[in-house]
Amino acid sequence: MRKENIETRQEFRRHENIQVEILDSYEEISRAVAQRVGEKIIKNSSKGRKTVLALDTGNTLAGVYREWTKSQKRGEIDFSDVVVFAVAEYHPIEKDALQSQQRFLKENLLDAVNLPANQTFFLEVDGSKKQVEKELREYEKGISDAGGIDIALLELGSTGHIGFNQSGTQENSRTRREALDEALRKEAAADFFSEENVPESGVTLGLGTLLEAEEVILVAIGEGKSRIVKKTVEGEVEPAVPATHFQRLDTAVLYVDVGAADTLTRIKQPWVLGDFNWGEQRQYRAVIQLSEETGTALSRLETVDFTRNHLAGLLRASNSADALCEWVADELTSRIRDTGDFFEKKKVLIFSPHPDDDVICMGGTMQKLLARKNRIDVAYMTSGSVAVFDEDALRHLEFIERIRESLGVSEKKVTERIFGLMDFLKQKKIGQIDSQGIQAIKRIIRESEAVAAIETLGIGREHAHFLDLPFYQTGRVKKDPIGDSDVEIVLDLLRSLKPDIIFVAGDMTDPHGTHRMCKQAIDQALPQLKKKPEVWLYRGAWQEWEVPVVDVFVPVTKAEMKKKRLSIFKHESQKDRAVFPGPSDAREFWQRAEERNTGTALSLDRLGLQEYFALEAFVFES
């Protein structure tokens, strides 16, 4: 992936109303935030005073909590002088429920550090409305008695919500119980295994309470957050986007990765903010964006189009508008790689985080690779078992029992085991972790679907490798951190197959973090190889690469798309309605794939290039 320098001079930050720190990765952000807060804790402790933290929950912040845990084990930080107030909690919910934010904080931080139990406070409310209001007032008083919040550590929600402060929240709001709106319930649906199971309300620290904090640290990860990051940082202060209220705080800072920062003006269009050194990649991006924004094909762009759109500096750095546009058009065309342009008789390994990412994201390219007589192996990194509906598992168990009967197999233990598993599912409570037997059934369902899918494309089942990485085997949406055993499994496969080229899911928009964690395992394994393979990055079901960053466009014909669709259909447990469709996209995965691929083709058509039915896109790992 071609990296561009990020402008940090003040003139390039003038549209940003909150301090923004842009780092390369989730891991870097976790370390930086952990260090920033850790330094505050150490400084306060040296002065004999406690540090009061308001802590949010979610996968985005789990990395920070892991860093604190490691820092304490190394003797670098002491939590005995820390006071913690939870930012929010679902209501009603049992405090030890899987989805409980109290449980999240305990599992990810509090149980692993020396923070006294009497210095941790959670939003536990019950009883009548009057009793709840009294308990919430006491929670606010507890914060005041502790000296106020030193640092509030918060995840920036996808709609700009903070805790359960949703659209419409006023800046003077206090700690309260709040009915959860549709957007927030959809976002929480994955943790509760369906939107219907999400509690109707929650309790949360108010914006007014959080705005009184000495310092506020916001964190946002992935391209899926880029639009709300821009609104939060560059938009007007408005109740519709609660996070914008932090623009009023001089001590507020937002940590984002490159993906989440993508639409900020200094990243997207730095040329409107000041003069800078025009590198080749910036020239390339700027011309493509100009064509897209003006709706003018590359061959029709004129000097006046550049000057009217703040790109006079680009013209000064090049020979002419015509020469610049011709170069960009030629460069784009050179990146289109049809069947005959592909490598042949190579060993190719596709890493698929879930058992369907391979065919969803690159089913057309897989057909091209086969046509060039390449050996294709697919490594399914996780079982995907949590994404199987209970009714699907029941249906398969019923099928097994009927097959047993029809074959005249009268093994009593088999029948007892099958009916035991069926009884578990019928009596299963909302959010309850599946038994090991049910997890195995769901894993096998996903594996059988994956085999059927690649066989549809012409790849034999012997080329399917089910890694079932340990980090995923928690039985719930929340996963363990990547460990040595995960990396070793990936490394063993790489050493065994010795691939020339590997395809890796490079998107960070997967809302559950599995894609990011799978890539982390691969990234840790690759440096241990004597001969490293070429790495191509594809994106998952959530978002496609932007045209200026794409290194290879692969044309997909109508016939190839039909076969790709059929392969996706083999994933029957994900068909019609997926367990985790994402919070803002009701389309089925095959629809997302087709519309994304045809959309990419349409983008190049609008730029004035040759017309294609569909295109899959890839980026080279640098």
121 backbone dihedrals φ, ψ, rounded to 5°: -130, 135
Separation CA 348–CA 330 (nearest Å): 28
Among 453, 446, 438, smallest CA distance to 467 is for 446
User: Do the domain assignments include residue 303?
Assistant: no
User: Do the domain assignments include residue 181?
Assistant: yes
Separation CA 591–CA 616 (nearest Å): 14
Separation CA 356–CA 358 (nearest Å): 6
Q: Residue 507: pLDDT above 90?
A: no
User: Do the domain assignments include residue 44?
Assistant: yes
For the CA atoms of the chain, what is the radius of gyration?
26
Specify the CATH number for the domain of residue 24: 3.40.50.1360
605 lies in the same domain as 484: yes
Separation CA 253–CA 215 (nearest Å): 8
Owner of token pair 């920062």: 261
Cα of 434 vs its chain's centroid, Å: 24
120 lies in the same domain as 27: yes
Q: Residue 617: pLDDT above 80?
A: yes
Percent of the chain with pLDDT strictly greater than 90: 79
Of 213, 237, 266, the one marking the end of a domain is 266
Q: Residue 559: pLDDT above 80?
A: yes
Q: Residue 32: pLDDT above 70?
A: yes
Separation CA 287–CA 279 (nearest Å): 13
pLDDT in tens, 132-145: 889 999 999 999 99
71 lies in the same domain as 217: yes
Separation CA 218–CA 246 (nearest Å): 9
User: Do the domain assignments include residue 49?
Assistant: yes
360 lies in the same domain as 495: yes
Residue 58: Cβ within 10 Å count: 18
User: Do the domain assignments include residue 153?
Assistant: yes
252 lies in the same domain as 350: no
**HEC secondary structure over 284-313:** HHHHHHHHHHHCCCHHHCCHHHHHHCCCHH
Among 259, 232, 252, smallest CA distance to 243 is for 232
Of 227, 243, 266, the one marking the end of a domain is 266
pLDDT in tens, 267-323: 999 999 988 889 899 999 999 999 999 999 999 999 999 999 999 999 998 879 999
Specify the CATH number for the domain of residue 509: 3.40.50.10320
122 lies in the same domain as 27: yes
244 lies in the same domain as 352: no
Q: What does the pLDDT read at residue 578?
A: 61
End-to-end, the C-alpha distance of the chain in Å comes to 5
> pLDDT category, 540, cuts 50, 70, 90?
confident
User: Do the domain assignments include residue 105?
Assistant: yes
Q: Classify residue 353 by its DSSP letter.
A: S
360 lies in the same domain as 230: no
> pLDDT category, 608, cuts 50, 70, 90?
very high
Phi-psi category of 365—alpha, beta or left, where left has phi over 0 and alpha has psi -120 to 50?
alpha
Owner of token pair 């934010």: 101
Separation CA 469–CA 483 (nearest Å): 10
- What is the number of structural domains in the chain? 2
Residue span of the structural domain in which 82 resides: 15-266
User: Do the domain assignments include residue 460?
Assistant: yes
230 lies in the same domain as 355: no
Q: b vs e for 194-214, b when ≥16 Cβ sit within 10 Å of the residue's Cβ?
A: eeeebbeebbbbbbbbbbebe
Percent of the chain with pLDDT strictly greater than 70: 96
Q: Classify residue 576 by its DSSP letter.
A: S
Tokens standing for residue 576: 């019609």
Q: Classify residue 372 by its DSSP letter.
A: T
Q: Judge contact between 55 and 143, C-beta under 8 A.
A: no
361 lies in the same domain as 502: yes
User: Do the domain assignments include residue 338?
Assistant: no
pTM: 0.88
pLDDT in tens, 464-502: 999 999 998 875 556 778 899 999 999 999 999 999 999
Separation CA 524–CA 441 (nearest Å): 31
Q: Name 276's Cβ contacts closer than 8 Å, sequence gap at least 6.
A: 7, 12, 270
Query: What's at 125, amino acid-wise?
Result: V
250 lies in the same domain as 380: no
pLDDT in tens, 217-267: 999 998 889 999 999 999 999 999 999 999 999 999 999 999 899 999 999
Q: What does the pLDDT read at residue 581?
A: 54
Separation CA 143–CA 172 (nearest Å): 16
203 lies in the same domain as 62: yes
Q: Residue 562: pLDDT above 90?
A: yes
Q: What does the pLDDT read at residue 477?
A: 52
Of 227, 247, 266, the one marking the end of a domain is 266
Separation CA 332–CA 617 (nearest Å): 12
Cis peptide before 116 (omega within 30 of 0): no
Query: What's at 577, amino acid-wise?
Result: R
